[in-house]
Amino acid sequence: MATFYDTHAHLDYPDYADDLPEVIERARAAGITRIISIGTDLDSSRRAIRLAERFAGVFAAVGWHPSNAPQAPPDVRPALRELVLHPKVVAIGETGFDYHRLPGAKTGDAEADTRYKQKQADLFRQQLEVAGEAGLNCVIHQRDAFEDTLALLKTCAGKVRGVFHCFGENADRMRRVLETGSLVSFTGIATFKSGQNVRDTIAATPLDRFMLETDCPYLAPVPYRGKRCEPAYVKEISEVVAATRGCPLEELSAATGRTAAEFFPKLT
Ligand SMILES: [Zn+2]
C-alpha cells in the first residue's frame, strides 16, 4: 500500500474530543503514517505537543494563526522558543496573513484595518525569527494576502522556508513561491468539482516541490465533502493528485515523503 503523510491537521480541535484514538487508527489503516498537528495559538500549540507525546506518528507545529492575531500577546517569541525545544515539534506555524475578514470592512475604519494587518505582520516576523534560530521551517497560512505574505517571507530567504498550505492559487503564483525556495501543499479541494483551478496548479507543480494535507476538520474531500474531515482522507486526496498528474501512487508517495522529510528535519 502506498503510504502518505498528513502535513496539516488540527487534531487538537474539539471536533475530535470523543474519538481521537479511532481517528488516528483509521489514518494508520489507510496508510497515513505521519500526521502534523498544527498550532493556532499557544494553547493549541501546547495541545498539539501533548498529542504528539501520546501518539506515535503524530508531530506538532507551534505557532499563532493570523486570524487569532488580535488575541496574541505583544511578543510570542519567549513561549515559542521553549516549545520548539520539544523533539516532536517539527515546524513553526501556522503563521502568515489573512485579510479575508478585515475589521474595518463593515465600519469603514481604515485605521482598524491597518492596526490589524500590523499585528499580523509583527506576529509573522516574530515566528520567522524563532524558526530561523531553531533551524525550522514555517507552515504558512495566507488568504487574500498573497503579495504581502511572499514579500515578508522573502526577507528571510536562505534562512527560513515556508510551505504555503492549502494552496489554491494559479500556476504562476505557485512558480513565484517555488522561486523563493518555499513549497506548496494541497488539500481535499483538489477533489472538488469546483477545484479545476487547483488541479491545473497541481499538474504544473514539479513532483518534488509539494506535499499533501487535509487541513482537517475542514475541507473533507469527495466523497466525504461537507462531513468532518480526518487524516485518513489523505488517501482520497492522493488518488486524485496522482490521477491529475498521471503518476503512479507509489511515485507520489515516495516524492511527497522525501519532500516532507527534507522540509521538516525533525520528522522521523
Ligand atoms: Zn490550518
Do the Cβ atoms of 224 and 233 come closer than 8 Å?
Answer: yes
The SS3 assignment for 71 reads helix
pLDDT of residue 129: 98
Q: How far is the CA of 189 from the centre of ligand 1 (A)?
A: 14
Residue 106 Cα, ligand 1 centroid: separation in angstroms?
Answer: 26
For residue 71, the CA-to-ligand 1 centroid distance in Å is 17
Which pLDDT belongs to residue 104? 86
d(CA 125, CA 154): 11
9 alpha carbon – ligand 1 mean position (Å): 7
Q: How far does the centroid of ligand 1 lie from the alpha carbon of residue 158, in Å?
A: 25
What pLDDT, on the 0 to 100 scale, is given for residue 106? Answer: 83
Please report the pLDDT score of residue 124 as a whole number.
Answer: 98
67 C-alpha to center of ligand 1: Å? 11
The alpha carbon of 60 and the centre of ligand 1 are apart by a number of angstroms equal to: 12
Q: CA-CA distances (angstroms) from residue 124 to 30, 95, 104, 152, 263?
A: 35, 6, 21, 8, 19
Residues 144 and 100 sit within 8 Å (Cβ to Cβ): yes
pTM across the whole model: 0.97
Pairing of strands 89-98, 58-62: parallel
pLDDT tens, N- to C-terminus, the chain (268 residues) = 899 999 999 999 999 999 999 999 999 999 999 999 999 999 999 999 999 999 999 999 999 999 999 999 999 999 999 999 999 999 999 999 999 989 888 888 899 999 999 999 999 999 999 999 999 999 999 999 999 999 999 999 999 999 999 999 999 999 999 999 999 999 999 999 999 999 999 999 999 999 999 999 999 999 999 999 999 999 999 999 999 999 999 999 999 999 999 999 999 8
Question: How far, in Å, is the centroid of ligand 1 from the Cα of 165?
Answer: 8
